[in-house]
Structure 1
């Protein structure tokens, strides 16, 4: 349960469910309103989870740097979800979700630029293949 891979795989499974369930839920609903509803549900569920697992601590004790980067991450998440739901409303989930995964390539580039991470050549090959796959899917006609 403490392996990063286990949690990353869970993230992938739930992200796949998110795309399909969101596409079904967007029928006849504005994408921005749908994003707000989803966000509210997430806030309530995470609040309950943190409270019931005893992980609550005073957020006012966090450093200014923590607040800054968590706040910026929240803004980026909100912008990502807004774009994702709009794309799902306009396009097919099977086309939108793979393009959204271009984020994998961007994370690798940003991690090198801002975090000093250095993926191995084999990892760059995988990242490049993901980028190529996104391009192939994006060029698909229809």
Structure 2
């Protein structure tokens, strides 16, 4: 099944949908930043448990510096994304917030083309365009 990536991508979409639903319910009546902090601690514990159970720990010096750099930048971007996402969930309906958040898909297609030199394909461009159009319909109406 396409080297297994499709199954994991579908799992990601499923769990992202649950994240939106549970996040909307969990952030109600509390500070969005505190909610993000609690969520982050839970993620840290869950991922540490998985890494431990699988025996995937490695010495920090075994990880090249450029990997550290991009993982740190990714972590900062993730944190900022989550802070914005939880605040948006507090202020708006999950049925609008989550799809707008998925504009990240169209953005990452553009970033992949510009920064990673990925080659555009008709299905990717059409799909990205449809995501953009869908987000605009949801945001504007």
After TM superposition, the score normalised by the length of structure 2 is 0.96
- Shift >3 Å, 4+ stretches: none
Q: Deviations over 1:9-61 (max 9, x none)?
A: 00000000000101101111100000000000000110111011111111232
The separation in 2 between residues aligned to 1:61 and 1:14, in whole angstroms, is 31
The separation in 2 between residues aligned to 1:52 and 1:17, in whole angstroms, is 24
Structure 2, unaligned runs of 5 or more: none
Structure 1, unaligned runs of 5 or more: none
Q: Deviations over 1:88-140 (max 9, x none)?
A: 01100000000000000000000011111012122201110110000000001
The separation in 1 between residues aligned to 2:58 and 2:117, in whole angstroms, is 30
Q: How large is the Cα RMSD of the aligned pairs?
A: 1.1
The separation in 2 between residues aligned to 1:31 and 1:8, in whole angstroms, is 27
**Aligned residue pairs: how many?**
140
Give runs of aligned pairs for residues 1-142 of structure 1, distance below 5 A: 3-140=4-141
Q: Which has the higher helix share?
A: 2
The separation in 2 between residues aligned to 1:19 and 1:112, in whole angstroms, is 28
